[in-house]
Structure 1
Amino acid sequence: MNNILITGKPGVGKTTLIKKLIEELDLDAGGFYTQEMRIGGRRVGFKIITLDGEESILAHVDIKSPYRVSKYGVNLEGLEKVGVESIWRALEEKDVIVIDEIGKMELFSPRFKEAVNSALNSDKITIATILLAPNPYTDKIKRRQDVKLFYLTQENREKVKEEIKDILQQLL
């Protein structure tokens, strides 16, 4: 079971958990994180940051795009150039693939789905955050036999981190 998925409500610490695991276990990882963009305390968008430091805007209130989630226009080109390419690079060069996240904004991209499927079908370890809400694509991923799904809460964060650490140490 080399695919580890983490779900939970927004702001519960999914991204932070993955960052801690990579740091504490010194994982040879590639892929990307998603991070909020704020101006004066107000969220205005999200950016993608690869594990090797490349950045792109994923979505922003000022982006005019046919792809929208709530008030945010989604930047598919940025997602594909930076996020999707980081998954393909990790598949070729790294032991661990990080995908943060498999969410509503990212699912507009067929190229993103193709890269996710390749990562999950590979022999590499994939650690990903995944949409909590029902969705046909993500629900299918959650039901895969080769996936271990964790539901993260503020109360179980430390316990989940230790469980995932144990799994990773056995796989590496």
Structure 2
Amino acid sequence: MKNYIITGRPGIGKSTLFNNIINTLRKSGIIVGGIKSPEVRDSKGFRIGFKIIDLMSNEEGWLAKRNYYSTIKVGKYGIVLDESSRIIREALRKALEKADVIGIDEIGPMELKIHVFRTMLEQVLNSDKPKILVIHYRLRDPSILDKIYRVENEKYVLTEHNRDLLNKVLPQKIVMEIKQIIKK
């Protein structure tokens, strides 16, 4: 199957493009499952953590919180292991069973520290379903990268110069291609 890969430096608009693609797929009647992990900011604009959201049910919980005590830390963020693991497991299980397309925003060092994410990601990457994957620009995990790139891919590196154009044309292009793949 095919992977559509979105990458680029932090703050460039990867999640915006991902959300545009997911929304366009849904409007076309394509069932999308998976997860996204948006940042959460306080009233002063400071990032305080990351949520984890199930794309099918919209259930959400904490992925990581700033200064949160956890046995798993990434920088100043502590992973909220029980909550994030439960949502990740259920969201990706449902996506594998029921979705036409699987989306993950993002595959990065924080998410890969969670055993359940790594295990479920391997199942997702081994599935025949088309995937929309946001990949952290510094991801260097050889086993995960090998699984991602062993199938046909279209990789998009977002920059200040191409992000507006990609947000205009890529969602519809992907819908047309995926409709051909899944025959919807």
Q: 1:4, 1:149 within 8 Å by CA — same for their partners in 2?
A: yes
Instruction: Using the TM superposition, give the Cα deviation of residue 94 of structure 1 relative to its aligned residue in structure 2, in angstroms.
Output: 1.0
Instruction: Using the TM superposition, give the Cα deviation of residue 150 of structure 1 relative to its aligned residue in structure 2, in angstroms.
Output: 1.5
Amino acid at match of 1:120: L
Query: Structure 1 residue 78 and structure 2 residue 73: aligned?
Result: no
Could you tell me which runs of 5 or more consecutive residues in structure 2 were left unpaired when the two chains were aligned: 180-184
TM-score, normalised via structure 2 length: 0.84
19-28 vs 30-39, greater mean Cα deviation: 19-28
| 1:9 alignment partner in structure 2 | 9
- What is the root-mean-square deviation in Å for CA atoms of aligned residues? 1.9
Query: Structure 1 residue 155 and structure 2 residue 161: aligned?
Result: yes
Instruction: Using the TM superposition, give the Cα deviation of residue 97 of structure 1 relative to its aligned residue in structure 2, in angstroms.
Output: 0.8
| 1:31 alignment partner in structure 2 | 34
Q: 1:102, 1:138 within 8 Å by CA — same for their partners in 2?
A: no
**Alignment partners' CA distance in 1, 2:60 and 2:139:** 29
**Alignment partners' CA distance in 2, 1:23 and 1:84:** 23
Amino acid at match of 1:42: F
Q: How many residues end up aligned between the 2 structures? A: 172
Q: 1:38, 1:45 within 8 Å by CA — same for their partners in 2?
A: yes
Q: After the TM superposition, which residues 41-120 of structure 1 pair with which residues of structure 2 at under 5 Å, given as runs?
A: 41-51=45-55, 52-120=57-125
Amino acid at match of 2:178: L
| Percentage of matched positions with identical amino acids | 37
| 1:169 alignment partner in structure 2 | 176
Q: Give 3-state SS (helix, strand or coil) of 2:12's partner.
A: coil
Instruction: Using the TM superposition, give the Cα deviation of residue 163 of structure 1 relative to its aligned residue in structure 2, in angstroms.
Output: 4.0
C-alpha change, 1:134 and 1:116, in structure 2 (3 Å) is: closer
Instruction: Using the TM superposition, give the Cα deviation of residue 89 of structure 1 relative to its aligned residue in structure 2, in angstroms.
Output: 0.4
**Alignment partners' CA distance in 2, 1:124 and 1:10:** 27
Q: Give 3-state SS (helix, strand or coil) of 1:105's partner.
A: helix
TM-score, normalised via structure 1 length: 0.89
C-alpha change, 1:29 and 1:87, in structure 2 (3 Å) is: same
Could you tell me which runs of 5 or more consecutive residues in structure 1 were left unpaired when the two chains were aligned: none
C-alpha change, 1:80 and 1:11, in structure 2 (3 Å) is: same
Q: Give 3-state SS (helix, strand or coil) of 1:32's partner.
A: strand
Q: 1:67, 1:73 within 8 Å by CA — same for their partners in 2?
A: yes
